[in-house]
Chain A
């Protein structure tokens, strides 16, 4: 990299942000939540949303924060990227998260939230015609992820399972 100065855009829980080269975009401590990165490699522009729940119909609140849910979050991120100059036909996605952190409430809805998040993210991406390029999902461990819109590599760090690039 020519430039040592690299902005790191941090995406919090139930937040959505975009970045372009030479910045990177990161979210920390994903458990059952999902980090969804959508990018346009030609424009080196990428966005990330940190979703907590599969479906906005689960909201018991009149005001819906779109970034909290897979269905609304992915659609909102796609629109935001297109507005910022990305071409919808070139959009690809890389996703991580959806762990099942505990074995304990196996019968309850809470327990299944990780796998349900994975399912909801994939089906929303396919509905919107966004190709899934890579994923590191499921399991029972936390993940911190960082995406570089130039290399289009998603770096996934864990505590016990090391680090990988997908």
Chain B
């Protein structure tokens, strides 16, 4: 069925926007806690922000479409489909690896599997808390770690959405590793249009209500 464009700004009431922020808060909060216990260091987290932006602005805010980043990517299927990314600058990913592997951080095989393990842990904790909170059935794919251009990786999260709209809603949370060498990682959740219906229905927050 063809609908009018989904005009995000108009279609979400403040309660719905708060709910979306809470999704970012709970997910990233759990992921930060898991990562903190894995690396054995304190990790802080920003207040989640909801961005409603054109596709190019989304890329800009993640560092620029042509920029190289280490990105953990995950596809969520099920009742509330969407795409999740955790993006780190490559030299920041290095620091994670050094923290995790110590002297072994130069072993190539070990580096890739360590990154995948970090991906598994943070994506898993983000999603399980999201599923608990929403009581929705979510089926995450195995996370994939890619080192490539921001635009090339994040645009995969926009494909489903792009059939409906020229704008994306992105739930963004920044993780700050509390050390002299600050490691910032950004969680980005790109919900597909179906995600909102499922979430708002599950929480009893409808636009008509």
Contact = CB atoms under 8 A, between A and B. Distances in A.
Say whether A associates with B. yes
Interface stretch (A37-45, A95-103, A120-128, A147-155): A95-103
Contact of A101 (B2, B4, B146, B160): B146
Contacts of A33: 155
B151 A159 contact: no
Interface in B167-181: none
B150 interface: yes
Given A13-B56, A29-B65, A63-B5, A101 B162 contact: no
A142 B160 CA distance: 19
Contact of B144 (A62, A104, A108, A110): A104
Nearest to B140: A104
Interface in A44-64: 52-53, 58-63
B153 interface: yes
Contact of A68 (B56, B150, B166): B166
Nearest to A103: B144
A141 B65 contact: no
A14 B65 CA distance: 13
A12 interface: yes
A101 B156 contact: yes
Contacts of B122: none
A101 B142 CA distance: 14
A61 B73 CA distance: 27
Interface string A18-31: 00000000001111
B184 interface: no
Contacts of B59: 13, 28-29
A143 interface: yes
B111 to A, nearest CB: 15
B155 A13 contact: yes
A29 B165 contact: no
Nearest to A113: B159
Interface in B55-90: 55-56, 59, 64-68, 73, 75, 77
Interface of A: 12-15, 28-33, 52-53, 58-63, 65, 68, 99, 101-105, 108, 110, 113, 141-144, 157, 159-160
6 contacts: A15-B56, A31-B155, A31-B156, A68-B162, A102-B146, A142-B152
Interface of B: 1-6, 54-56, 59, 64-68, 73, 75, 77, 141-142, 144, 146-153, 155-156, 158-160, 162-166
